[in-house]
Structure 1
Amino acid sequence: MVNTLWLVRKLGDFSSDLVQEDDVVVLIQDGVLKFPSKKNWYACKEDTLARGLKLPEDKLLTYSQIAELVVKAKKVVVW
């Protein structure tokens, strides 16, 4: 179970100090440009490909997978 799902559009505005162990962070839009390799952090596959970036496949989530997380999460925060 995901406690909080963080959807982050720009990393510069986001404080990772807010993220708890049972949270999931998904970088979307321009947030994918600075992908940190942290546990429970993922990037939107479509946004990553649109920007010509290459990230490990196990760190990419499709829009459908992100939508499933939105439904399962206790709380969703868009940053």
Structure 2
Amino acid sequence: MVDTVYLIKKPAEFPIADLISDNDVLILIQDAVLRQPSISNWYACKEDVIARGIKIPDNKLLDYEDILNLIEKSNKVVVW
């Protein structure tokens, strides 16, 4: 189970790493996919990555259905 899903919309708006626990997930959407965080528990919206023509490893890509499933299973969602 995921405690908190952080949806990040802009590249410079990553939450402070101390706020992210092992049970949290950071999901990069929109322009945030242009910059990847240094923590390990992050993913990027596949459609936004394709639209911007950038390369991100396949194991870090989530489609909209995957993102919705994570949101439904989480205790809380925070949008930055």
TM-score by length of 2: 0.91
The CA RMSD measured in Å over matched residues stands at: 1.2
Q: How does 1:19-58 map to 2 (within 5 A)?
A: 19-36=20-37, 38-58=39-59
- Report percent identity of matched pairs: 53
After superposing on structure 2, the runs of 4+ consecutive aligned residues of structure 1 that deviate more than 2 Å are 13-17
Q: In structure 2, what is the equivalent of residue 5 of structure 1?
A: 5
Amino acid at match of 1:42: Y
CA–CA distance in structure 2, aligned partners of residues 7 and 76 of structure 1:
7
**Cα-to-partner distance string for 1:29-55 (whole Å, 9 max, x where unaligned):** 000000135311000000000000011
Give 3-state SS (helix, strand or coil) of 1:13's partner.
coil
Matched residue count: 79
Question: Match for residue 74 of structure 2?
Answer: 73
Structure-1 separation of matches of 2:59 and 2:16:
21
Amino acid at match of 2:9: R
Query: Hey, what does 1:16 align to over in structure 2?
Result: 16
Per the normalisation by structure 1, the TM-score is: 0.92
Structure 2 gap segments, 5+ residues each: none
